[in-house]
């Protein structure tokens, strides 16, 4: 996300392109409940319990927090699921290339500039 901010800040990327890429990136995330079922950590009925708990609690906890409160997962399980969720994500810059906001051959140079920018603050 910082990379998108970096590109938008000097005007290299329009706000619409930045938001479009971030929305696509966010939609591509596999829900934690689905990952937990796929890995055999939860049953579908457990996921439904967590979702019910989230709907009734104020403020609504995140899925992993609710699953721990209900005793369905432990903190280590949640960390592993979050790591798997993150590793499965397509990097946001690929979404920018897909929507035509960037060219793939530009990415290495832009990443070097981004790294220099992050170290200059």
Contact in structure between 45 and 54 (CB atoms under 8 Å): no
Residue-wise pLDDT for 43-62, tens only, equals 999 999 999 999 999 999 99
pLDDT, residue 31, reads 93
Q: Containing domain of residue 37, as a range?
A: 2-120
Q: Global pTM?
A: 0.65
DSSP character for 74?
A: -
Average confidence (pLDDT) over 24-48: 94
Residue-wise pLDDT for 62-88, tens only, equals 999 999 999 999 999 999 999 999 888
Average confidence (pLDDT) over 11-38: 90
**What would the two tokens of residue 60 be?**
């609504």
**What would the two tokens of residue 32 be?**
């934690």
pLDDT, residue 1, reads 65
Stated as kind and residue range, the H or E segment containing 32 is helix 32-38
């Amino acid at each position: 996300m910082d990379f998108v901010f970096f590109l938008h800040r000097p005007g290299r990327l329009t706000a619409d392109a930045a938001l479009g890429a971030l929305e696509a990136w966010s939609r591509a995330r596999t829900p934690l409940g689905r990952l937990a079922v796929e890995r055999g950590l939860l049953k579908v009925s457990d996921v439904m319990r967590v979702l019910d708990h989230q709907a009734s609690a104020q403020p609504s906890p995140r899925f992993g927090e609710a699953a721990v409160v209900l005793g369905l997962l432990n903190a280590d399980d949640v960390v592993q699921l979050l790591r798997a969720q993150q590793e499965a994500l397509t990097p946001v810059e690929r979404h920018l290339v897909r929507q035509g906001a960037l060219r793939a051959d530009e990415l290495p140079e832009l990443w070097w500039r981004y790294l220099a920018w992050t170290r200059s603050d």
